[in-house]
A = this chain, B = another copy of it.
């Protein structure tokens, strides 16, 4: 029956159809006691440190499934990583679906199963949610918003404004994988089989680095706009310059080849399972070792140094293997829409 196989407007009505959707799809996938309570807000314990971190992301990626992941895994990992960058212990997620009428229920189940698996991996619980159904043409299948919350441990104050001359810049692995993986399957390009999205929850990696490098200045996951946006945000907030050693920046050959072909800079392409960290020079090696010991940090590298800003102002420079330097700007305009 069509009415059983696809999402209908009635599934967003607040009535009996919505009740069934919640019971048979969401509660089946997200088995948290806070959800089973059935109240409008999820109530849950939070260690009382006196500060919380809150972050949100909406995921509109197309296609919904791509090599290495899907919109569900992305929706959990993206927000977990954003909250974790603050040094907070990520505990809970909310989840808001906007679903287009006619969306297959089996696809929704698969996406929810993927979200649940990623949440288990990240040790977070989805404790509250909302579903809206819009008419055909009102959305591109499904959009997923997640918001995440966690407590910030006492004494932890990480900020993109905390970078100081002499600090080291690290990245937890190869750059550009996610953007090129999505791009390849969307455009049907020949390199599609070689490249997988890196989508992964990195709260564990961040905890490992913080334990090894307790004076870490900041973390950020280089998603839209890639490493270029992340580092430009850091230099602007801190009033410094960052010089990268291009030869040290890990990029898979297949990603580099795809970028060359498409005219993209891999440093401006989105990642969903990588973390940039800025740490004091004397904690760079312990931080690197901590990253490499983590399952998501095998290809971690020290890629640059923070310096005093030049009189021309904060900037990110890339020193090429041939000794020359270029300025790494933020992306202007848009190259890869709907990447996350």
Q: Which residues of A contact B (CB under 8 A)?
A: 8-10, 12-19, 37-60, 81-83, 85-86, 88, 92, 94-98, 127-130, 132-135, 137-140, 143, 145, 147-149, 152, 158-161, 218, 220-221, 223-226, 229, 233, 237, 268, 270, 329-335, 337-338, 340
Listed A/B pairs (14) with beta-carbon separation below 8 Å: A9-B334, A13-B224, A14-B223, A14-B229, A42-B54, A46-B46, A54-B127, A56-B94, A56-B128, A58-B97, A60-B132, A96-B145, A133-B337, A134-B338
Chain B residues contacting A37 (CB-CB under 8 Å) are 159, 161
In the bound complex, residues from chain B placing their C-beta under 8 Å from that of A94 are 54-56, 147
The chain B residue sitting closest to A270, CB to CB, is B14
Copies of this chain present: 2
- Interface of chain A, helix or strand or loop or mixed? mixed
Known: A38-B161, A40-B220, A43-B86. 14 other contacts (CB 8 A): A13-B331, A14-B330, A16-B332, A38-B233, A38-B237, A39-B85, A42-B53, A46-B46, A52-B149, A56-B147, A59-B132, A96-B96, A130-B145, A135-B337
Measured CB to CB, the closest approach of chain B to A114, in angstroms, equals 19
Chain B residues within 8 Å of A338, by CB? 132, 134-135, 138
8 Å CB contact of A334 from B12, B139, B229: B12
* Residue of A53, A218, A225 most packed against chain B (CB within 10 A): A53
The answer to whether A86 and B41 have CB atoms under 8 Å apart is: yes
**Which residues does chain B contribute within 8 Å of A137, judged by CB atoms?**
137
CB distance from A319 to the nearest CB of B (A): 23
The distance in angstroms between the C-alpha atoms of A44 and B86, with both chains bound, is 11
